[in-house]
Structure 1
């Protein structure tokens, strides 16, 4: 535990996506559990959707609602990326950028010691500096992803030598070691719109660059046990302290859903399956397969012969007109083999169930952490954003197996789906992935280890009055201590 009687006040302001909000909330709970005051800022709808924190959490975690303005192109009541098709997220950023003045007033009234902010809120650092408040850019992306983006100046000025998707398929020049971590062409092609200006006028790379440039230190969801080399790259290219906050494994909430009829029905089906026999299929709150991908996935699951539990998201918000459908007759043919769930499903409780043996996942890091916490083998199928880099890191460390795909367009076949699932779930050749999931479980889900990372961050926050030079030294001392 951090040995100090003085408590600090931290404001936390994540990007308006549940894939960001959820790990941010985990960190907020860990800080609040040590008696520090946390003001967690988000939109009313997002805050109202959050699960109820555990009853034993101290009353030091407070939620602050900041109402988004209505802007042209943004559907009414859409306050999170989950409410929107991908092409309308740009309007959410316009609304977010219009919060600068009201946010500054809220921050001034809260008068915290620190503000943690996300990549989209590139304007928070200067506001905090003007108010005399220290700031941290907190990335839920792993250190390899943040390092892959590179130093701030090229991102901000647009003079990064990488201009084409192909340029991102090799490790960047500032990485001093041999690595296979880089994008596949199909992954970066799907994500390349982030380097183009969108309707907000500020593309994602500029937002990242400005956010990292204006903060006092960088916090990243990572750990020395998993990414020591990438954390060192980050500190070198940014020339400021970089702190891993740990993997932020989820703490199960005291939820009414645990006793709901929906979960009871799911659990009943899972209880009838053999131990470690079921493949769980889910691609997070935002990743959505194309119709062609959905068809091959479904037929591949059927062809594998393995029992499956599939949480399928068929649309992103009411404005998503690109509907996808399962192949005709699929659910009837597989009724005894698997379950397709198109509504709410409690991922933590599903992954914790002993019948689940493997997880076909989009490689979102929260899902990776949850799966490995419960020792589930990983089969990787990426869609966009940081998922491609996550998958390469997992491949390089032999923690996950990527489904074989066409290198240019990312297409895959039902046969490759079936073969990949059988390899990881049951074959002798894939036993290494099942064993590795068990071996690394402690590196992802150990509570004491996570507690030490939070203490390291708190020590730094509490000693923030020291000189910048001594702060950098302090960061490196903590790195070697872990």
Structure 2
């Protein structure tokens, strides 16, 4: 039975968060730190110099608001592991071949972290790590504290993936032949061409990395998930049954950012936020499509042209987020040659590099979100209460699309037929077509009965998301139960030490 918490006991709890250095993992764990510290615990986030710079204003603002959040900055051994100097985040990897080196460098953080461990005050009560960081298992055992991992994937996607792994149903069909995922509360059809790389490998180069992650997942004291029970209750139940350990749904964690300043600064996207808001203020309510395909989208220029032309042909106002740097050179040349920005200046805004997504999605002018269906973006879209245009690319994104379009019925698919292989996008052929982008946008933005019903459902799900993290909500209560369980584990540890 868990110990009933007192404020003095909570004051002595200290949670160490060790995220994988990737936007999809780092951002939600910073949000999680805010949620945990709101309940009175001390939280330390392990980071590296380049990553610290991405949220240098976020943490001080949280501390000013009374949050007990600290940073433990460790040097990232990029060059030692064979990476370019300053390559400290997965969105800056130069190629697929550097992924292994990145995980080698990440594992080299173990020694400096353990050296710093004894200096941390109060003494750490637990480690919450990205599930991809296998070295944290050994460290937690060494210091005899519980280790939990943060799952960046939703319960629906996990259930689908697990049921396919067990049944191997996908192995009996051709590439584009539909099959039904067995054992689910809903009828979900997929094709092998749309499956995550773990189920449909386009290359064998990352098998060792993947196997280490899987083995680390099985050694855990519990799992925290960025979802809320009302969103996918049937699948939360399946997740719990399959995993057989304690599970806490604590999301959507991005909803902890309530002030415009918090939303603007999240992830380092605040410098031009005022300009974006002024542009949106000039638009009609529910009239703008916000299009963003994630932080590690590596689609070729020719494919991104199709997206841009689809946005243009829809005749809707739009914000389009594109990556900066070397990977966008072909696209930038096309944009300049075609005078794309000039001819769309009255209804189109392009944002390069990082955008304050949560801030933009919360603006009344946004009428739809064109997304790659990464889980963070999916939960952020859900929280915003706007319908989605789904354009999945890789990993479990095609499965998340099924949740949005078919289970929740708050989205319309661009009908992408094949997943790309991350880092090998130039070998994947045609992924999206401008006509399909245009049609999906028009359907999401239509004012007829079907469109109104979709918008109504999206608003209802958005309200549920906000209530989940408010005081008394399901995720709020799950965080309280999680803290209570850590406190109980700490007392059990102290008791066992006194008996030794």
* TM superposition score category, shorter chain reference: 0.7 to 0.9
CA contact (8 A) 1:68 1:99 kept: yes
Change in Cα spacing, 1:266 to 1:176, as seen in structure 2 (3 Å) is closer
Aligned to 1:403: 414
How do 1:197-276 and structure 2 match up within 5 A? 197-198=205-206, 202-204=208-210, 206-248=211-253, 249-251=255-257, 252=259, 254=261, 262-276=272-286
CA distance in 1, matches of 2:466, 2:95: 32
CA RMSD of aligned residues (A): 3.3
How do 1:361-400 and structure 2 match up within 5 A? 361-395=371-405, 396-400=407-411
Aligned to 1:288: 298
Aligned to 1:475: none
How do 1:6-405 and structure 2 match up within 5 A? 6-7=9-10, 8-50=13-55, 51-53=57-59, 54-58=62-66, 60-69=68-77, 70-87=79-96, 88-110=98-120, 111-150=123-162, 175=183, 177-180=185-188, 185-188=193-196, 192=200, 196-198=204-206, 202-204=208-210, 206-248=211-253, 249-251=255-257, 252=259, 254=261, 262-315=272-325, 320=327, 323-325=330-332, 326=334, 328-395=338-405, 396-405=407-416
Q: Displacement of 1:189 after TM fit?
A: 5.6
CA contact (8 A) 2:303 2:430 kept: no
TM-score (norm 2): 0.81
TM-score (norm 1): 0.84
Give CA-to-partner distance per residue, 1:301-360, whole Å, 9 cap, x none.
111111111111144xx6x58743345232232222211222443222222221111111
Change in Cα spacing, 1:416 to 1:20, as seen in structure 2 (3 Å) is same
Q: Displacement of 1:123 after TM fit?
A: 2.0
- Structure 1, 364-373 or 250-259: larger mean CA deviation: 250-259
Aligned to 1:459: 484
Change in Cα spacing, 1:305 to 1:322, as seen in structure 2 (3 Å) is closer
- Structure 2 stretches of 5 or more lacking a match? 420-428, 493-500
Aligned to 2:425: none
Q: Displacement of 1:148 after TM fit?
A: 4.0
- Structure 1 stretches of 5 or more lacking a match? 468-482
CA distance in 2, matches of 1:39, 1:349: 26
Q: SS at the partner of 1:309?
A: strand
Aligned partner (choices 434, 439, 451) of residue 430 of structure 1: 451
Q: SS at the partner of 2:437?
A: helix
Q: SS at the partner of 1:285?
A: coil
CA distance in 1, matches of 2:447, 2:430: 25
Aligned to 1:445: 466
CA distance in 1, matches of 2:271, 2:109: 40
Q: Displacement of 1:421 after TM fit?
A: 0.5
CA distance in 1, matches of 2:31, 2:221: 22
CA distance in 2, matches of 1:241, 1:298: 44
Q: Displacement of 1:254 after TM fit?
A: 3.6
Give CA-to-partner distance per residue, 1:379-407, whole Å, 9 cap, x none.
11111123222111112221222112335
Aligned to 1:480: none
Aligned to 2:6: 4
Q: Displacement of 1:172 after TM fit?
A: 6.0
Aligned to 1:472: none
CA contact (8 A) 1:194 1:203 kept: no
Change in Cα spacing, 1:208 to 1:402, as seen in structure 2 (3 Å) is farther
Q: Displacement of 1:444 after TM fit?
A: 1.6
CA distance in 2, matches of 1:4, 1:182: 49
Give CA-to-partner distance per residue, 1:395-454, whole Å, 9 cap, x none.
222122211233586633211111110110124233332121111112222242242232
Number of equivalences = 455
CA contact (8 A) 2:322 2:350 kept: yes
- Structure 1, 251-260 or 104-113: larger mean CA deviation: 251-260
CA contact (8 A) 2:80 2:105 kept: yes
Q: Displacement of 1:121 after TM fit?
A: 0.8
